[in-house]
Structure 1
Amino acid sequence: MNPDVAADLKELSTTLESIERVMDVDALRARIAELEEESARPDLWDDVEYAQKISSELVYKQADLRKITGMRQRVEDLEVLYELGENEDDSASLAEADSERERLRKELADLEVRTLLSGEYDERSAMVTVRAEAGGVDAADFAEMLMRMYLRWAERHGHPTEVYDTSYAEEAGVKSATFRVNAPFAYGMLSVEQGTHRLVRISPFDNQGRRQTSFAGVEVLPVVEETDHVEVSEKDLRIDVYRSSGPGGQSVNTTDSAVRITHQPTGIVVSCQNEKSQLQNKAAAMRVLQSKLLARKREEEQAELDALKDSSGSGWGNQMRSYVLHPYQMVKDLRTDYEIGNPDAVLEGQIDGLLEAGIRWRRKQEQAA
């Protein structure tokens, strides 16, 4: 076998071994067995939310196991394919082997990113809020573009989403929107999106066709689970109900079903208006509130450590990405210098490269700290 090819195959196998160790294939199989036993319980669906959680985790764990065992088989098959191609001097087989080797390299790099998601809450679903910032109507339009970008990304990966609240701007776009991405590791993947995003383009809302810079903020929180013990006392809450606004249909705009909850000790305000009943909206708003309180709890626990860090170049609140549509076309992450020359593809949800670069950058920051 060609020495360069042999060395590359050995490197691929070594990378896969490292991934197998981190993902702990034996523990993964054991967890799948537990979930299969739990999912077979006849009374499982008496608690729909819990049943959905078990079913979702089982599906994703099984997919992880299939992926990693499938890759091991492909690495072994690839070595055989090269040997057959060289022994028979079959250029077509060798070309096929080269293509498979490149595909494997890319897929292993993607899977390796998962092994970098080892934070306390990285395995959880994500609660995402997008807000229009400076830039008037362009900022509101940009916020809606970002919301669509994340929802399309989730759709591409088969991740279910729930939109909890959308506050529409008067002329176009949204003032803010909160939605949930229901998938294991959604928080770990999307948490690197937190910060300020900047859009530069010829404004479609300016009749003089001038270039406009606008900003939108993205907040990403882990979804709260029962084990988090985020205590919320009813006496600390002010609950207001009001009529939903914006596009709706049927009964959504005709009753006072929207709910706004103010947590008085912290001043945190959350709202939900996208469900049909007041009870559903209150439950959804409480989930958002609990996620925000969990995030605040984490911040308080880390306050002393954070005070020792130099946040001048890596604070989440800083500008972290530019989307330039004019005078040239480019999306650039300002932390990682990762660039994509096709903003349309990015805004259609093709952000995996940006996410991967952000996750690797974050790991380097953590190691340096």
Structure 2
Amino acid sequence: MAVVDVSEELKSLSSTMGSIEAVLDLEKMRADIAVLEEQAAAPSLWDDPDAAQKITSKLSHLQAELRKTEALRGRIDDLSVMFELAEDEGDADALAEAESELIAVRKALDEMEVRTLLSGEYAEREALVNIRAEAGGVDASDFAERLQRMYLRWAERHGYPTEVYETSYAEEAGIKSTTFVVKAPYAYGTLSVEQGTHRLVRISPFDNQGRRQTSFAGVEVLPVVEKTDHVEIDESELRVDVYRASGPGGQGVNTTDSAVRLTHIPTGIVVSCQNERSQIQNKASAMNVLQAKLLERRRQEEQARMDALKDGGSSWGNQMRSYVLHPYQMVKDLRTEFEVGNPQAVLDGEIDGFLEAGIRWRKQQEK
């Protein structure tokens, strides 16, 4: 790499880093950390476990974000020294090392830049993910289960806690539906680009004639409701059903009627939860899911009114990604054109490339 090219590249990196630092507002971040550290040190912190968890989680996230930002700034500043020393000493190995670090820094910078593109009223929230099998019979149920595993593995790779609220198992294989939460700041802003219909094309392992099958699964991503949202639900508008939780193939996982199904009569929204042993706990979790769905419904209605005022808003087809396992191997996003030739890696949770492309695409649509 020519010296002039390196100099320009380093200037570009530093400029981009400056823009990121401005958006993240590092001084405010440090001030927020100081406030949260004071709250976390309070003797009464765990009197309210839910509030305590939110405080410690947000503190941990902000501290990690600040460390990551400061470390990347340090790497950018060190690059100029690395190249200068390599040039002065005519050391080919040192030059190769500096060029390798330059590529790595550019990649890390691109990834961090995506974080600054997250916007919207609920972007900072945790994410509530619903997956349901659609057309395709047993293959669709199997695909829905593979998508659940994909997102849970993605969260695991990033160290994000998750909790599965409910899973409805299909008769032969896979699942009819599932609901789980990803407990990390900005999980909603990040995963919301996954919403839509996912399509799988493969030789069906459930077809004794070995034919190629196409199946579909729907993904819905909602922001987790917080106390400040004021989503009022009149108990008289709810139908509450209790039943015995079950596992794969109808296997009983609970010997009491602790699972809870809530039906919101005015909207027809139905949610259920069976992960807890207590009926009271399951009802509380189901209420959280119902509130999230009602909050999203309200958001969509508000967006529809805004779009009407603007004589229509941007939209895209509901089908958003194809996973092809036969006759060739490819996963392709139908909005961004981003594609990967290793479906197994994607289904194992390596979806950051799709998330980044989706976030950039969405930001472009907003302009």
Same fold (TM over 0.5): yes
**How far does residue 305 in structure 1 lie from its aligned partner after superposition?**
2.6
* 1:295-306 pair list within 5 angstroms: 295-306=296-307
Q: Is the contact between residue 252 and residue 275 of structure 1 (CA under 8 Å) also seen in structure 2?
A: no
What residue in structure 2 maps to residue 338 of structure 1?
338
In 1: Cα distance, 2:250 partner to 2:145 partner: 20
In 2: Cα distance, 1:50 partner to 1:250 partner: 36
* 1:110-189 pair list within 5 angstroms: 110-189=111-190
Change in Cα spacing, 1:152 to 1:304, as seen in structure 2 (3 Å) is same
Q: Is the contact between residue 243 and residue 256 of structure 1 (CA under 8 Å) also seen in structure 2?
A: yes
In 2: Cα distance, 1:257 partner to 1:36 partner: 38
- Per-residue CA deviation, residues 235-260 of structure 1 (Å, 9 max, x unaligned), is 21111100111149998421100000
Q: CA RMSD in A?
A: 1.5
- Per-residue CA deviation, residues 296-328 of structure 1 (Å, 9 max, x unaligned), is 1111212223343255x514xx11100000000
- Which ranges of structure 1 fall in alignment gaps of 5 or more residues? none
Change in Cα spacing, 1:170 to 1:86, as seen in structure 2 (3 Å) is same
Change in Cα spacing, 1:277 to 1:251, as seen in structure 2 (3 Å) is farther
SS in 2 for 1:321: strand
What residue in structure 2 maps to residue 89 of structure 1?
90
SS in 1 for 2:190: helix
**How far does residue 277 in structure 1 lie from its aligned partner after superposition?**
1.2
SS in 2 for 1:199: strand
* 1:313-328 pair list within 5 angstroms: 314-315=316-317, 318-328=318-328
The letter of the residue matching 2:197 is: T
In 2: Cα distance, 1:306 partner to 1:345 partner: 38
Identical positions, percent: 71
- Which ranges of structure 2 fall in alignment gaps of 5 or more residues? none
Change in Cα spacing, 1:328 to 1:248, as seen in structure 2 (3 Å) is closer
Is it true that 1:256 corresponds to 2:257 in the alignment?
Answer: yes
SS in 1 for 2:255: coil
* 1:37-116 pair list within 5 angstroms: 37-116=38-117
The letter of the residue matching 1:314 is: W
The letter of the residue matching 2:312 is: K
Q: Is the contact between residue 132 and residue 177 of structure 2 (CA under 8 Å) also seen in structure 1?
A: yes
The letter of the residue matching 1:321 is: R
The letter of the residue matching 1:266 is: T
**How far does residue 357 in structure 1 lie from its aligned partner after superposition?**
0.4
TM-score by length of 2: 0.97
Change in Cα spacing, 1:250 to 1:333, as seen in structure 2 (3 Å) is closer
What residue in structure 2 maps to residue 309 of structure 1?
312
SS in 1 for 2:271: strand
**How far does residue 24 in structure 1 lie from its aligned partner after superposition?**
0.4
In 1: Cα distance, 2:201 partner to 2:125 partner: 33
SS in 1 for 2:323: strand
Is it true that 1:364 corresponds to 2:325 in the alignment?
Answer: no
SS in 1 for 2:193: helix
